């Protein structure tokens, strides 16, 4: 899934990615998966009665029927979406493809969510839509699990990763990093899905701006308890760094780097040295706490660990999308046709690791970390949702029971009062004032 503010290049990203997919030809020479994704043709999106502020018409110009789409789009639609004219996304779009990835057949669904626009409450309403969508997929799994006879061919509809697009406009501001809206949205989304942050339109950033922005975004995430997907556990990251740098801890390394920085980097050097000081104590504390970390990690192949470390170090991933019309551009240096953007001063190749992190992101999503993302979705996010939902139901049932009990206690109390009153009245006891000589 791709989500974030409007106009950051989410649809363009899907279109760029599409350009690299090896589609499998199926019967009738359709190169994308059938629109009927689930075996019993259930809708894959929830139906919402309240249209969000961004509602209007979708890419194909069809008026929006409800807040969220009702079923996955078909193969023709998906290919048309990835290759036709680029338009603003006004309705969630599920592009479904059957692809060959590393000799493996995978059913890939790319969900394009409408970009956020408007006031804080409008952004929050768009976030509600995304949460509803994500939870609906969990509900489909929950419904399947509850069946006496489960369908062995049931499709996994869960969203395994959400690429959250971050605007790079703050790069030049005094306070680069996540906006208040991003923080609010990310806090909610990270409780439901693996979040992979993406720095959009990276061609408009210099190297220094990119570095600063990446650091600021990661720092904001930590300060606001936003959990991004971790390619590498902190314990392993530290171990790797320490091994590589001759037993220096990350903070000592930071200080060492700071001392090597040139005169133009004064500010950054001071920041790094200062950060290093506080971190040393934190590192010692973490060291003690991390005793019960996943020991399997210690057995991992060093190549895998290095790849994980590289991916972790790239977050948030910078991406550059191809030009709107998708025209492949000829790289003058190599003479090859590339997916990219052409400027008067040269050609940007979206898949060149020197230009952006798109290639690493693609490989993490579609091959190296695909299984891990799926597993975490099922074992952590789905389980969490399931537990919350069952607890909420138990609580509601308990409250209803309590209410019922209270009502029946009240009812029996009032009926016994009525009976007593009735008795009293019948026996001439004071249900009403009885006058007599003793009153004097």
> Who contacts 304 (Cβ-Cβ below 8 Å, separation ≥6)?
none
Q: Minimum distance from CB of 334 to ligand GTP (Å)?
A: 21
Comparison of 128 and 203: residue with beta carbon closer to ligand GTP: 203
Q: Among the candidate windows 30-38, 316-324, 394-402, 409-417, which touches ligand GTP by CB under 6 A?
A: 316-324
Comparison of 141 and 318: residue with beta carbon closer to ligand GTP: 318
Distances (CA, A) of 218 to 200, 314, 317: 15, 11, 11
Contact yes or no for 1/193 (Cβ under 8 A): yes
89 binds ligand GTP (CB under 6 A): yes
Q: Among the candidate windows 82-90, 191-199, 253-261, 301-309, which touches ligand GTP by CB under 6 A?
A: 82-90
Q: Among the candidate windows 9-17, 36-44, 63-71, 181-189, which touches ligand GTP by CB under 6 A?
A: 9-17
Q: Minimum distance from CB of 278 to ligand GTP (Å)?
A: 36
Comparison of 9 and 46: residue with beta carbon closer to ligand GTP: 9
Long-range contacts from 46-52, C-beta under 8 angstroms, 24+ separation: 46/132, 46/133, 46/135, 46/136, 48/129, 48/132, 52/114, 52/122, 52/125, 52/126, 52/128, 52/129
Burial state string for 174-183 with b = 16 or more CB within 10 A and e = fewer than 16: eebbbbebbb
Site string for ligand GTP, 409-428 (x = CB under 6 A): --------------------
Comparison of 23 and 320: residue with beta carbon closer to ligand GTP: 320
88 binds ligand GTP (CB under 6 A): yes
Comparison of 355 and 370: residue with beta carbon closer to ligand GTP: 355
115 binds ligand GTP (CB under 6 A): yes
Contact yes or no for 1/163 (Cβ under 8 A): yes
> Who contacts 291 (Cβ-Cβ below 8 Å, separation ≥6)?
none
6 binds ligand GTP (CB under 6 A): yes
Contact yes or no for 96/75 (Cβ under 8 A): yes
Residue with tokens 């029996």: 412
Distance of alpha carbon 179 from alpha carbon 8, whole angstroms: 14
For ligand GTP, the nearest residue by Cβ is: 115
181-220 residues near ligand GTP, rule: CB under 6 A: 201, 203-204
Q: Minimum distance from CB of 97 to ligand GTP (Å)?
A: 18
Instruction: Tell me whether strands 93-101 and 22-23 are parallel, antiparallel or unpaired.
Output: antiparallel
Q: Minimum distance from CB of 309 to ligand GTP (Å)?
A: 26
Comparison of 12 and 55: residue with beta carbon closer to ligand GTP: 12
Q: Among the candidate windows 118-126, 149-157, 319-327, 421-429, which touches ligand GTP by CB under 6 A?
A: 319-327
Out of 164, 308, 324, 425, which residue is the one contacting ligand GTP (CB under 6 A)? 324
33 binds ligand GTP (CB under 6 A): no
Distance of alpha carbon 202 from alpha carbon 209, whole angstroms: 10
Distance of alpha carbon 346 from alpha carbon 348, whole angstroms: 7
Distance of alpha carbon 33 from alpha carbon 25, whole angstroms: 9
158 binds ligand GTP (CB under 6 A): no
Residue with tokens 């991992």: 300
Q: Among the candidate windows 10-18, 187-195, 231-239, 416-424, which touches ligand GTP by CB under 6 A?
A: 10-18
320 binds ligand GTP (CB under 6 A): yes
Distance of alpha carbon 193 from alpha carbon 160, whole angstroms: 7
Comparison of 14 and 366: residue with beta carbon closer to ligand GTP: 14
86 binds ligand GTP (CB under 6 A): yes
Contact yes or no for 111/159 (Cβ under 8 A): yes
With CB under 6 A as the rule, give the number of residues binding ligand GTP: 18
Out of 7, 19, 43, 80, which residue is the one contacting ligand GTP (CB under 6 A)? 7
Q: Minimum distance from CB of 63 to ligand GTP (Å)?
A: 17
Q: Among the candidate windows 8-16, 166-174, 234-242, 302-310, which touches ligand GTP by CB under 6 A?
A: 8-16
Comparison of 113 and 305: residue with beta carbon closer to ligand GTP: 113
Out of 110, 311, 321, 361, which residue is the one contacting ligand GTP (CB under 6 A)? 321
* Site residues (vs ligand GTP, CB under 6 A): 6-12, 86, 88-89, 114-115, 201, 203-204, 320-321, 324
């Amino acid at each position: 899934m791709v989500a974030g503010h409007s106009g950051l290049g989410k649809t363009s990203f899907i279109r760029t990615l599409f350009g690299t997919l090896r589609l499998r030809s199926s019967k009738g020479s359709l190169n994308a998966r059938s629109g009927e994704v689930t075996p019993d043709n259930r809708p894959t999106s929830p139906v919402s009665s309240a249209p969000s502020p961004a509602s209007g018409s979708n890419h194909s110009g069809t008026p929006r029927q409800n807040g969220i789409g009702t079923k996955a789009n078909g193969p023709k639609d998906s290919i048309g979406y990835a290759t036709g004219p680029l338009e603003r996304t006004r309705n969630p779009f599920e592009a479904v493809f059957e692809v060959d990835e590393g000799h493996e057949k995978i059913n890939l669904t790319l969900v394009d969510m409408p970009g956020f626009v408007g006031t804080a409450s409008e952004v929050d309403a768009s976030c509600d839509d995304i949460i509803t969508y994500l939870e609906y997929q969990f509900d489909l799994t929950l419904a399947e699990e509850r069946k006496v006879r489960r369908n062995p061919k049931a499709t996994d509809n869960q969203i395994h990763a959400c690429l959250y697009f971050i605007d790079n406009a703050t790069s030049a501001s005094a306070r680069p990093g996540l906006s208040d809206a991003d923080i609010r949205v990310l806090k909610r989304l990270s409780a439901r899905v693996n979040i992979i942050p993406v720095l959009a339109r990276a061609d408009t950033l210099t190297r220094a701006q990119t570095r600063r922005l990446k650091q600021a975004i990661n720092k904001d995430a930590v300060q606001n308890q936003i959990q991004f997907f971790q390619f590498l556990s902190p314990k392993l990251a530290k171990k790797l760094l320490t091994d590589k740098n001759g037993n220096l801890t990350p903070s000592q390394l930071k200080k060492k780097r700071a001392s090597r920085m040139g005169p133009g980097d004064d500010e950054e050097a001071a920041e790094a040295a200062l950060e290093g000081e506080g971190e040393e104590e934190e590192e010692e504390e973490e060291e003690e706490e991390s005793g019960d970390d996943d020991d399997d990690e210690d057995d991992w192949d060093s190549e895998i660990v290095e790849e994980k470390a590289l991916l972790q170090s790239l977050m948030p991933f910078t991406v550059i999308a191809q030009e709107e019309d998708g025209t492949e551009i000829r790289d003058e240096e190599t003479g090859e046709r590339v997916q990219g953007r052409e400027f008067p001063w040269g050609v940007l190749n979206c898949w060149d690791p020197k230009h952006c992190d798109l290639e690493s992101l693609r490989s993490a999503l579609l091959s190296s970390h695909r299984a891990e993302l799926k597993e975490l979705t099922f074992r952590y996010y789905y389980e969490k949702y399931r537990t919350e939902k069952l607890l909420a139901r138990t609580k509601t049932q308990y409250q209803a029971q309590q209410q019922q009990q209270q009502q029946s206690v009240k009812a029996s109390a009032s009926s016994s009062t009525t009976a007593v009153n009735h008795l009293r009245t019948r026996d001439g006891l004071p249900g009403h004032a009885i006058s007599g000589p003793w009153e004097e």
